[in-house]
Amino acid sequence: MTMADRVDAVLRAGEAPNLHALVVLQRGQVVLERYGEGVDHRLGTSLGRVRFDAGTLHDVRSISKSVVALLYGIALKDGLVPEPGEELVRQFPEYPDLLAEPARARLTIEHALTMTLGLAWDESVPYTSVANSELAMEAALDRYRYVLERPIVEEPGRRWSYCGGATALLGGLIARGTGRPLAEFARAALFEPLGIGAFEWTAGEDGVAMAAAGLRLRPRDLAAIGTLLLDDGRDIVPAAWLEEMLRPRVPIADDRWYGYQWYLEAEGAYAAHGNGGQRLAVLPARDMVVAITAGDYDDFTHSSTTAVFDALL
């Protein structure tokens, strides 16, 4: 069976009922494309039942984090943001009380890039619950202070712990350093050079783009971002930054590692994941990029995406 045959068999069997879109690129060309229909949301707002096609924008949820890492590298190339080894809290001089704490002052930007801040943070509960730290951050009067003042519960740099607050801080540094809102910098520095014209980046209650989530892209455009990792950044993202970003820095589980806001998986693959089954996978050994959007929100098995992805391989 061909790759298309295997995917179609999964779809006919009803094993991926919440698949919204699939785009597979190989050697830079679209080799497989499928679209579905289902209930969708823009973060917490229902969009009702949607018939998806190539022109439909879709939440990519936490894939936004991996895009922020690309943007950080672009800004760093131009000297607009601090090096990863720089102190993190010092970049927020409006919080002198936090900088005065020796343990907190030792936090670095790299700790944010690798999600090893060692702060009390919990995103294991649904994103509809006030117990979810990311939701609490977005409801706070000052998202950056909310993150930086969380209790330190373990030595920074020691262990990976999923933290959307880390990405929020990176987004703040990009906006401050470039003098432009995150979405505007993304448009000029990344999306337009890639030929991406249509996108949205949902703002939080403070009117600032939610760096940890909120990005909405068309499926082919999501796949186009993945091609940057195969093409040495294509003079859009510095190749040296990609090398740093995709270096295994902290173990997650089994044979999975984390770099700078990207997952490093089996057989040399790189991936970005988002709630609901959003996935961008880059498989250098196959010269392949896989972009999947789905509607399994708050179902952390991501069963529709898993069924389709397994059929591809």
As a whole number, mean pLDDT of residues 12-29 equals 97
User: Is 286 within a domain?
Assistant: yes
What pLDDT score was predicted for residue 254? Answer: 82
Mean pLDDT of 232-247: 98
Judge whether residue 308 has pLDDT over 80.
Answer: yes
pTM above 0.85, yes or no: yes
Query: Is the residue at 168 inside a domain?
Result: no
Q: Is residue 21 part of a domain?
A: yes
Residue 117 confidence (pLDDT) = 98
Domain count, the chain: 1
Q: Which domain holds residue 307?
A: 3-52+216-312
- DSSP for the chain reads --HHHHHHHHHHTTS-TTEEEEEEEETTEEEEEEE-EEEEEETTEEEEEEE--TT--EE-TTHHHHHHHHHHHHHHHTT-S--TTSBSGGG-TT-HHHHTSHHHHT-BHHHHHTT---B-----S-TTSTTSHHHHHHHSS-HHHHHHTSPB-S-TTSS----HHHHHHHHHHHHHHHTS-HHHHHIIIIITTTT----EE-B-TTSSB-TTS-EEE-HHHHHHHHHHHHTGGGGTS-HHHHHHHTS--EEEETTEEE-SSSEE-GGG-EEEEETBTEEEEEEGGGTEEEEEEE-BTT-TT-HHHHHHHHHH-
In a domain, 203, yes or no: no
Query: Residue 298: what pLDDT?
Result: 80
Look at residue 239 in the predicted model and tell me its pLDDT: 98
What is the structure's pLDDT at 253? 87
Average pLDDT over residues 238-250: 98
- Calculate mean pLDDT across residues 283-309: 93
How far apart, in whole angstroms, are the C-alpha atoms of residue 11 and residue 9? 5
Cα–Cα–Cα angle for 2, 53, 3, nearest 5°? 10
pLDDT tens, position by position, 23-52: 999 999 999 999 999 999 888 788 999 999
Residue 181 covered by a domain: no
The CATH number for 243's domain is 3.40.710.10
Residue 91 confidence class, pLDDT cut points 50, 70, 90:
very high
Q: Is 85 inside a domain boundary? A: no
Residue 33 lies in a domain: yes
Residue 130 inside a domain? The answer is no
Q: CA 140, 143, 149, 154: dihedral to nearest 10 degrees?
A: 110
Average pLDDT, the chain: 96
How confident is residue 266, by pLDDT bands cut at 50, 70 and 90?
Answer: confident
pLDDT tens-place string over residues 125-180: 888 788 899 989 988 999 999 999 999 999 999 999 999 999 999 999 999 999 99
